[in-house]
């Protein structure tokens, strides 16, 4: 099969101020409102506003550096002001702030990113005060996430990333990993790969690896499945193998098909990126039950509605 290459839709770590400012100005031309909020900026930009604030000191300073100071609206709050406020707060007041954010978001467990986005304080302040984010959550009576520091394999990280990518119909943002359907937090990716950017790069590198004979690879997987099934059935007469590949595509093959089809239904053209509630499926062009193989040339992307409609036709099924 032809090798399919992908590119990241985010600016590289360590990019120059000139590159960043050029990106800010590009996004500003896409926002019609006279005021450019962080939320509006983050929806369209290749770099997150939090990164810009760390670089320039504040959102106001970010816009001023880009020559867009007139598009800022709000009180100028300096980092020093925030630090002084937190310094004089009691433990009880900090915990109260943590509880309030959890209540506001209607969550029993919140991430450091949740806190940073919804509080004038920094999660780092609570981590320093109580020793760790986990300790702060415990003092607030909040739940520790079920995936807190759980050990996942690279395959599990990548498959989870694929699920989120498919859900949104585009490369996910850092914040998307802290929302359903993700089962692994953005912090988990940073801990595993060193940064969110490096996690994306590792995923892209893995997906872009040249297939060592797609059919043979799937055939080996199918052979292993057949041997396992035979063993579970106490070595009864094995099922006759009529396919070179298993019916269900691997997560990597699913991603290759979705990305080739631009995460759009090949029938109606809808995508999760532009239509809420759209769920994408992988469909066999020639049905597996009719001898069709699970290889990229015989697979296509269909939305759930189109796939169910197709499955009602003779000799068709959904995957």
Summarize pLDDT for 193-225 with one digit per residue, the tens.
Answer: 988 899 999 999 888 875 443 445 545 554 554
Of 281, 273, 288, 275, the residue nearest 309 (C-alpha): 281
**Mean of the per-residue pLDDT values of the chain:** 80
Count how many Cα atoms sit within 13 Å of the Cα of residue 120 in the half-sphere of its side chain: 13
What value, to the nearest 5°, has the Cα angle with vertex 127 and ends 124 and 129?
Answer: 110
Q: Rounded to 5 degrees, what are φ and ψ at 263?
A: 55, 40
Exposed, middle or buried, 37 (CB in 10 Å: 0-12/13-18/19+)? middle
pLDDT for 291 equals 87
SS3 122: coil
- Mean pLDDT over residues 259-285, rounded? 91
Mean pLDDT of 267-283: 90
Instruction: Please check whether residue 301 is in contact with residue 278, taking contact to mean a CB–CB distance below 8 angstroms.
Output: no
Whether the pLDDT of residue 102 is over 60: the answer is: yes
Residue 117, pLDDT > 50, answer yes
Q: What is the pTM of this model?
A: 0.51
How far is the C-alpha of 246 from the C-alpha of 19, rounded, in Å?
Answer: 47
User: Regarding beta strands 299-303 and 280-284, do their DSSP bridges make them parallel or antiparallel, or are they unpaired?
Assistant: antiparallel
Residues with Cβ within 8 Å of 284's Cβ and at least 6 positions away in sequence, in order, are: 292, 294, 298, 299, 317, 319
The predicted structure's pLDDT at residue 144: 73
Strand partners, 283: 300
- Write down the pLDDT at residue 318: 44
Among 69-73, 145-149, 244-248, where is mean pLDDT lowest? 145-149
CB atoms within 10 A of CB 104: 12
Cα four-point dihedral sign 152, 157, 163, 168: positive
**pLDDT value at 161 more than 90:** yes
CB 216, CB 295: distance < 8 Å: no
Higher pLDDT, 276 or 160: 160
Neighbours of 27 (CB within 10 A): 20
Name the residue ranges covered by the structural domains of the chain.
Answer: 17-71, 79-139, 154-207, 214-311
- Residues 15 and 29: their CA atoms lie apart, in Å, by 21
Find, among 195, 203, 188, 196, the residue nearest to 155 by Cα: 203
CB count within 10 Å of CB 158 equals 19
Alpha-helical regions (H) of 169-296: 186-193, 196-207, 214-232, 251-260
Higher pLDDT, 30 or 309: 30
pLDDT at 274: 86
Cβ(182)–Cβ(164) below 8 Å: yes
- Answer with the residue of higher pLDDT: 250 or 112: 250
Q: Please give the DSSP secondary-structure letter assigned to residue 98.
A: H
Say what the pLDDT of residue 239 is.
45
Instruction: Quick: pLDDT tens for 15-40.
Output: 888 999 999 999 999 888 888 888 88
Structure tokens at 112: 């450091």
CA 222 to chain centre: 30
CB atoms within 10 A of CB 52: 25
Please report, rounded to a whole number, the percentage of residues in the chain having pLDDT higher than 90: 28
């Amino acid at each position: 099969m032809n090798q399919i290459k992908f590119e990241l839709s985010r600016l590289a770590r360590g990019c120059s101020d000139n590159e960043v400012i050029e990106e800010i100005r590009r996004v500003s031309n896409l926002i019609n409102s006279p005021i450019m909020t962080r939320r509006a900026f983050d929806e369209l930009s290749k770099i997150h506003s939090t990164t810009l604030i760390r670089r320039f000191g504040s959102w106001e300073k970010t816009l001023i550096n880009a020559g867009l100071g007139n598009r800022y609206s709000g009180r100028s709050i300096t980092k020093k002001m925030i630090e002084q406020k937190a310094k004089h707060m009691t433990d009880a007041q900090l915990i109260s702030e943590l509880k309030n954010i959890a209540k506001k978001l209607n969550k029993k467990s919140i991430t450091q990113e949740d806190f940073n986005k919804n509080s004038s304080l920094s999660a780092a302040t609570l981590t320093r005060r109580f020793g760790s984010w986990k300790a702060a959550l415990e003092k607030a009576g909040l739940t520790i996430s079920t995936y807190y520091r759980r050990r996942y394999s690279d395959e599990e990280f990548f498959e989870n990333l694929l699920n989120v990518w498919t859900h949104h119909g585009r490369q996910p943002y850092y914040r998307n990993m802290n929302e359903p359907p993700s089962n692994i937090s953005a912090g988990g990716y940073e801990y595993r790969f060193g940064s969110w950017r490096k996690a994306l790069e590792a995923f892209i590198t893995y997906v872009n690896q040249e297939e060592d004979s797609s059919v043979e690879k799937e055939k080996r997987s199918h052979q292993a499945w057949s041997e396992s099934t035979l063993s579970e059935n106490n070595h009864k007469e094995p099922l006759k193998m009529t396919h070179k590949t298993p019916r269900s595509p691997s997560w990597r093959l699913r991603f290759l098909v979705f990305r080739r089809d631009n995460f759009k239904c090949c029938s109606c053209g809808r995508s999760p990126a532009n239509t809420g509630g759209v769920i994408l499926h992988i469909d066999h062009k020639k049905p597996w039950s009719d001898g069709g193989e699970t290889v990229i040339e015989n697979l296509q992307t269909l939305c759930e509605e189109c796939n169910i409609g197709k499955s009602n036709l003779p000799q068709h099924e959904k995957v």
